[in-house]
Structure 1
Amino acid sequence: MTKHKLIPSISSTNIVGIVLSSLMSSFAIVNFVRPAHLVPAGVTGLSMLVQREVLELLNVNLSFGVIYLFINVSILLFVFKHLGKQFVILSLLHVVLTSFFSDILPVYQLAHEPVLLAIFGGVVNGLAISVALKVGGSTGGTDFIAIFFSTVKNRPMWDKIMIFNMSMLIYNGWRSNWELSLYSIIYQFISTEILTKNHDRYKLSSLHIITDQPEVVSQAILSIVRHGITEFQGKGVYSQKDKTMLYMVVNSFEIRPVVKAIKDADAKAFIEIASVDRIEGNYRQKPLD
């Protein structure tokens, strides 16, 4: 009898990726966010806003750590059943390492202009998040929400998180400092753009495959992915030969292995790949580990 593993198998590649990502996140915090006095977004920024508003309105000084922990735990409890154990463990490791590296990394005087710090800091932060997601983890906080709703909706939801962050920064500008909030919006916008370009787990693509060997090609595809395939019969106008067209939708990160499997099964297969903006109906999303 096979026992269910309570602790997932995490490879050295996962660990190295998370360490690299946390170093990049920490570097962005130490050398871009802090020197430019940028306002943090996500759970950190929300915790700071809650702490400040409660103090001003109720004259109660709540602990930042308590608020931050409460919000993170609440989010994690909400989405935990939909996230894999490996994803959660790697994400928590990233949070711990980022906290550690942020205290020990040296500070370099990279620029004096806040706008330059916001732009290049956003690039580094966006790449850091992308690396964490590539190796099966995340940077925690609002990443949990984005991953959860991306899984439910079968499309990327990072733009919705960006809207939330920008709304929070606009509120902060109204309540405190417009200039710093606007620089922070630049930082968040660029981070999200870099992330959206690099993270393809929830981007969908359609494949139209014209082949003379539909059964062989279908079996080759189904041996590596578990998505539905629809078969159509047709005729090549030039060759006047009967042809079969296979249609399917896959996640963008699955395109390379699927195309390779098709070519191995039928080297003469014709494949068209197109971006899919949205789907409705049953679609199997590969679960997080």
Structure 2
Amino acid sequence: MISAGVRAFLVAMLIALPALMLPGVSADTTQMIALLALLAAMLTFVEYVSVFPSFVEFRDAPPFNRMRFLTLFLTIVTLTLVSRGQGEPNGLSALLTAVGGQLGLLLDFPFSPVRLMLLTLPADAPETLQQSLRTHAGLAYVISVLSTMLVWGLVHAMQWPLRNGAFNFWVNLPLFDPTAGGDVLYRLKRDSHVNVALGFLLPFLIPAVLKAASAMMDPISFDDPQTMIWTMTAWAFLPASMIMRGVALMRIAELIEEKRRRAYAQAELLVA
């Protein structure tokens, strides 16, 4: 129960962090974010305090979810510090802004995800807003890429998930029904490939969707720091999370395939 409470508290703090750190947040916005943080904390607590899983995957296969949370936390904190530094600059925010600006310029080339995100701005957007969006996008994208590479390395270097004991398929993949039909190994590999492919495509597709939506409704206003932070976080983290899930599913498929090979080899020895 203590572990579930700690997780719930961390999730609530993560959601409330931009509103707590940014200056000039209105009372209505603070109340809405507090409600969302409380709701997320309750869902997290119920999920981890319960013996039976509901929808959170890999809950008993650390450090997979911890790495995903750390990626999300690092992205939000970094972008919040950059946004806060625009009104209340300090040494750390200036450093992050400078690094993010250089990363944004490095990644701002034709047809890159950063360039496509910049194209979602109105044609008459001020230069300062373009620079701010480029900085946030560069930092968020690099954090997501590095985190994805780190997860891939940990999955293979740490012999995940066997290092923590037997892998409980039902607890760690509650939304995956192995009896739904078809070979489990084929379905795991298929889902892995789909997740990785979508993870690579989403940084390109999300700006296109935002641009298309702006033609039918009011476009997203990146003038608001919280809108900037959460939009950039979602744009970078969701694809990274899908790639991480694809890597994890492929690892599970590899373990099942290896176990099958051993079983077939033992059966052949018994027959011989």
TM-score bucket (shorter structure): 0.3 to 0.5
Structure of larger gyration radius: 1
Name the structure with the higher strand share: 1
Name the structure with the higher helix share: 2
